[in-house]
Amino acid sequence: MNDAELQAWIERISQESFGIPFRHRARFNPRLRSTGGRYFLKSHDIEINPHQLEANGLDEVEKIIKHELCHYHLHLQKRGYQHRDPEFKALLAKVGGSRFCSHLPTTVKPKRRVEPYRYELRCERCGTSYKRKRRMDPRKYACGKCRGRLELFLLKTT
């Protein structure tokens, strides 16, 4: 499913479940990790986590969409759109949206890229070593143990 299909799906759900059209932008955001979707107060756009679609299917994502549409419609009507508001809770129950997002299984989450250490700062006085992933100016820092001068070395990368 692409962004255009998601846009049409959200517009259809909005019309069928709320009786009000969705007039803003909807898109997938694969960078979302801890949430199924989000609603933006300033732009009124909605983003959906595509990993939820892969892990939990269309039914669960439809509940997430209804949840975000509750925020959307209540906010535009200047009513209680926050999770704690009784109006939000009542509308969410009425349309059958999910209160909480199903957690993603660990197999679906992409692996984090581990950067190797590329630099080493070494104290000239006591020999303490500090490994770093990014280059830094040793003149701006001192050893944390003895306050001695630091020397920068480039580590061998394989």
Report whether 148 contacts 142 (CB < 8 A).
yes
Residue 59, strand partner residues: none
Give the span between the Cα atoms of 77 and 111, in whole angstroms: 41
- For 110, the token pair is 């992409």
The pLDDT tens digits of the residues spanning 8-41 come to 999 999 999 999 999 999 999 999 888 899 999 9
The pLDDT tens digits of the residues spanning 148-158 come to 999 999 998 65
Q: What are phi and psi of 44, to 5 degrees?
A: 65, 20
Q: Which residues are catalytic?
A: 68
**Considering only the top CATH level, what class is 3-95?**
alpha beta
Please state the domain extents for the chain.
3-95, 119-154
pLDDT along the chain (158 residues), means of 10: 95 95 95 90 95 89 94 96 94 89 58 86 96 95 96 85
Q: Is the pTM of this model over 0.85?
A: no
